[in-house]
Amino acid sequence: MKKLIALLAAVFLLLPGCGTQRTPDTGYTKYSAQFYGTFDTVVQIVGYCKTEEEFSRYAGQIKSRMEELHRLYDIYYEYSGENNLKTVNDMAGKAPVTVREEILDLIEFCEEWYGKTDGKVNIALGPVLSVWHKYMARYSADPTDAKLPDMNILREKLTLCNIEDVIVDREAGTVYLAKEGMSLDVGAVAKGYAAELACREAYQSGFTSFIVSAGGNIVAGDAPLDGVRSGWGIGIQDPFTAQEPGGGNSIDVAYVRNTCVVTSGDYQRFYMVGDRRVHHIIDPDTLMPADYYRGVTVITPDSGIADLASTTLYTLPFERSRAMAEAMGWEVMWIFADGTVECTDGMLPLLRDRGGATGLL
Ligand code: AMP
Ligand code: MG
């Protein structure tokens, strides 16, 4: 049954008709497609091409690359004939594992950014996060008697979360987790990192006017080739209505091209303990969900960095979060629990309601 669901989920839906929109004066047509089965989410692709055949080729290229990266970065399942992050986790404390370059690149990318961003996003936090994942899975399905994990257990797990114990040997092409019980969790960054690789490669192949959304993790290419618009409108989810049927409203719309828009929020994965919303972004210093914001949206040209940045900024108090965003040159919107919204100066001109979307003119 699981296999069947996985198979169905992997079916690629190209949507001719409803996914096709002619723009006769430019010679380009707008096409769209979507597929399931990678990174726990739906991937939607919209792009302008001369022919449907051309669009299908690019969409297929993005799909197969996302599938390949999903297999490599999967921490739950292994795939025959291929070492992936699950293999690395299973071999913790035992032996280095030979892996593909994409795994070495992702780990080194995360190590580099760990150093630059106060160590808030730590891919070695697996032992702590897996406790939270178990609670999340159990109590989001049935909130009866929902509770928080035991702090003593979380503290004990933290002793196995030192990123210095993740040993990458480029020459040997291996990764080794130096202590038994260690594990990597790349949930904060892998989806954005994979989307970046897949979209960059498709762009280099000639797919230039597109927008790809991997579960709200957006990569925007050149402007739509409709002869009218100079950017793509990206709705920023209103966290206060996210649970409403149909997914709720946008709190604003960002107009962008050649950049990425990624959001971290407390409404994406959570369970309730009484009135308290217990969500999936864990502050490694308190070992509890970070509670400064309902949502943080980052705009920056690299989707891997945007994904890591939104999770990082989410775990930092506002002054520090804002200072980091400004120092890094990220454009950011923070949405607080009382509904207040703050933005970096460069974010405002990109926004339709707050800044008139003048930034792209
Ligand atoms: P995102 O939705 O990109 O903000 O990432 C959230 C996911 O990242 C969670 O579901 C966890 O798998 C993982 N995660 C949560 N907190 C951390 C953290 N402090 N460091 C690294 N990964 C984390
Ligand atoms: Mg993230």
- How many angstroms does the Cα of residue 109 sit away from the middle of ligand 2? 14
What residues does the ion ligand 2 have nearby, CB within 5 Å?
188, 307, 310-311
Closest CA to 221 of 262, 260, 254: 260
What does the alpha-carbon distance between residue 349 and residue 361 come to, in Å, rounded to a whole number? 10
Q: What is the pLDDT along the chain (361 residues), one digit of tens a residue?
A: 333 333 333 333 333 334 566 665 789 999 999 999 999 999 999 999 999 999 999 999 999 999 999 999 999 999 988 999 999 999 999 999 999 999 999 999 999 999 999 999 999 999 999 999 999 999 999 999 999 999 999 999 999 999 999 999 999 999 999 999 999 999 999 999 999 999 999 999 999 999 999 988 999 999 999 999 999 999 999 999 998 888 889 999 999 999 999 999 999 899 999 999 999 999 999 999 999 999 999 999 999 999 999 999 999 999 999 999 999 999 999 999 999 999 999 999 999 999 888 888 6
For residue 123, give the ligand 1 atom closest to its CA. Answer: 21
Pocket of ligand 1 (CB under 6 A): 120-123, 125, 129, 185, 187-188, 264, 268-269, 280-282, 284, 307, 310-311, 315
Contact predicate 201/68, CB 8 Å: no
The reported pTM is 0.93
- DSSP one-letter code for 11: -
Closest CA to 198 of 60, 301, 73, 56: 60
For residue 191, give the ligand 1 atom closest to its CA. Answer: 3
- How many angstroms does the Cα of residue 294 sit away from the middle of ligand 2? 14
**Could you report the per-residue pLDDT of 183-231, keeping only the tens digit for each?**
999 999 999 999 999 999 999 999 999 999 998 899 999 999 999 999 9
| Continuous H helices in the chain | 2-9, 52-73, 85-90, 101-116, 126-141, 151-158, 190-205, 303-314, 318-328, 352-355
Mutation test residue for ligand 1: of 135, 281, 321, the one with most atoms within 8 Å of CB: 281
